[in-house]
Amino acid sequence: MAVMGKSLTQSRKNAETAEKVRLWEVCSASTSQLRQKDVENNSGTFPIYGASGLIKNVDFYQIDVQGLGVVKDGAGVGRVMRLPPFSSVIGTVMIIRPQSRVDCGFLYYALVKQNLGTLYTGATIPHLYFKDFKNRRINLPPLPEQKRIAATLDRICELKKNAETRLAKLDLLVKSRFVEMFGDPITNPKGWPMAKIGGHLQFLTSGSRGWAKYYADDGELFITIKNVKGGKISTNDVQHVKPPTGAEAERTRVQEGDLLISITADLGRTGIVTRDLADQGAYINQHLSCVRLDRKSVEPLFVAFYLESAAGKAQFEKKNQSAVKAGLNFEAIRSLRFYLPPLALQREFAAFVEKVDKLALSVRKTVGQLEVLYRSKLQEYFG
């Protein structure tokens, strides 16, 4: 994972001796009057971009050299994107054209570091104009040094993207393995008998309200909907608590193997409580239910993957009790159906997932390290 670059001391010396310029001195901006509907019936070989990225290919172009795009209106305002030669943008994106003395890749990272999304105006629909950031100053080292800096950051981003792609493939591998072992959950081609959660239930509860007063900087964990997805529980952005004593806290404290299901807002997100999580101590809020299954008859991880499938999601949509405010009660949870292959086969799948998760953990660590490296290099190069 080594990324070559000059020493920090040398980089600081380069920054100190670099020319300090305002952005308008090294680039210019222009806008487009095109709307997305204006190109709906146009086709060709030249890419055209909008706020979300590539829209399609058209038969014309606005720039014939490499440039940059900055989202200027609406969602994603301030996001910077690279524009290839012979490309165009619609009206939500401004074109940034670098002058000959600035490398386009270097300018890209310089603009990213400016955090342009914080400079918008407009309360309802955010807007960003070149005048809002054209006087920002950047260090402009000699062109060869600019190219080296851009190449270093490009390499870090490439490594991070490759690691993220590997994570996506591991996730797809698990989903493919599920279908391979058990068949399509919707059509059930293997003819497994159907079961209900209520028939394999040992304990069912939902989380507590009003725990903000127990929030802390460290301690045990307070799990919310944002931490639960895809059969897993993420602790990357989890709230810590100093829980109270008593029956209410004990009721909402999770155990290893518990199946958590979101019961309000984004219905049907699932996560399985691991041993490490249970040992650390964790509690759930009112937007989650804790489903404790009889592990002598079903494997919780298998049930979670079924509920995350199209067949599971269809049940949550059908059981949604209100078009205004989504919600599930305990009876709806008990009535959730899943196919029931032999327990040995369910456990075999769970063991496979555990092996893949170990690989994924290593890859996530790499992604995290690369993100830290990227941010430190941005700070080193651009202050």
Q: Assign 250 to helix, strand or coil.
A: helix
Which pLDDT score is estimated for 209? 87
The per-residue pLDDT for 1 is: 55
Do 321 and 381 lie in one domain? The reply is no
Is 120 domain-assigned? yes
Looking at the fold, whether 360 and 373 belong to one and the same domain comes out as: yes
pLDDT tens digit string along 122-169? 888 899 999 999 999 999 999 999 999 999 999 999 999 999 999 999
Q: Total domain count for the chain?
A: 3
| Confidence band, pLDDT 50/70/90 cuts, at residue 4 | low
pLDDT of residue 155: 98
Amino acid at residue number 307: L
**Residue 282 phi, psi (nearest 5):** -145, 150
Q: Tell me, yes or no, whether 377 and 312 share the same domain.
A: no
What would the mean pLDDT of 45-71 be, rounded to a whole number?
97
Q: Which of 13-22, 187-196, 252-261 has the lowest mean pLDDT?
A: 13-22
Tell me, yes or no, whether 334 and 345 share the same domain. Answer: no
Task: Answer whether residue 331 is part of any domain.
Answer: yes
- pLDDT tier, 318 (very low <50, low <70, confident <90, very high otherwise): confident
One domain, residues 118 and 156: no
Q: Do 301 and 315 fall within a single domain?
A: yes
Claim to verify: residue 69 and residue 163 sit in the same structural domain: no
Q: pLDDT category, 2, cuts 50, 70, 90?
A: low
* pLDDT higher than 70, residue 322: no
Share of the chain above pLDDT 70, in %: 94
Alpha-helix residue ranges (DSSP H) falling in the chain:
8-17, 104-113, 143-182, 247-252, 275-280, 300-308, 310-319, 330-334, 343-382
Let me know whether 305 and 332 are in one domain.
yes
Residue 174 lies in a domain: no
Give domain status of residue 185, yes or no: no
pLDDT of 122 reads: 87
pLDDT mean over 286-310: 96
In this structure, the answer to whether residues 130 and 228 fall within a common structural domain is no
In three-state secondary structure terms, 320 is coil
> C-alpha angle with apex 184: 181 to 186, nearest 5 degrees?
145
Note the pTM of the prediction, 2 decimals: 0.81
Task: Compute the distance between CA of residue 193 and CA of residue 191 in angstroms, rounded to an integer.
Answer: 6
Say yes or no: 299 and 361 in one domain. no
pLDDT of residue 124: 86
Question: CA-to-CA distance for 273 and 260, rounded, in angstroms?
Answer: 8
1 is a domain residue: no
**Mean pLDDT lowest for which of 261-265, 298-302, 326-330, 342-346?**
326-330
Helix, strand, or coil here: 297? coil
Looking at residue 119, which CATH number applies to its domain? Answer: 3.90.220.20
Residue 324 falls in which region: left (phi positive, over 0), alpha (psi -120 to 50) or beta? alpha
Residues 32 and 90 sit within 8 Å (Cβ to Cβ): yes
What's the pLDDT at 82? 97
- The strand pairing partners of 28, in sequence order, are 97
CA distances from 108 to 14, 83, 113, 263, 273 (A): 19, 10, 9, 43, 42
Q: What is the mean pLDDT of residues 108-121?
A: 95
| CA 259 – CA 299 distance, rounded (Å) | 10
Domain that holds residue 347: 142-169+341-383
For residue 160, being part of any structural domain is answered with yes
Check whether residue 313 and residue 347 sit in a common domain. Answer: no
Residue 207 lies in a domain: yes
* Same domain flag for 266 and 149: no
Does residue 328 lie within any of the structural domains?
Answer: yes
Q: What is the DSSP string of 113-131?
A: HTTGGGS-B-SSS-B--GG
Beta bridge partners of 71: 93
Q: How far apart are CA 23 and CA 106, in angstroms?
A: 12
Confidence of residue 309 (pLDDT cuts 50, 70, 90): very high
Handedness of CA 175, 180, 184, 185 (dihedral sign): negative
Mean confidence (pLDDT) of the chain? 93
Helices (H) and strands (E) in the chain, counts: 9, 21
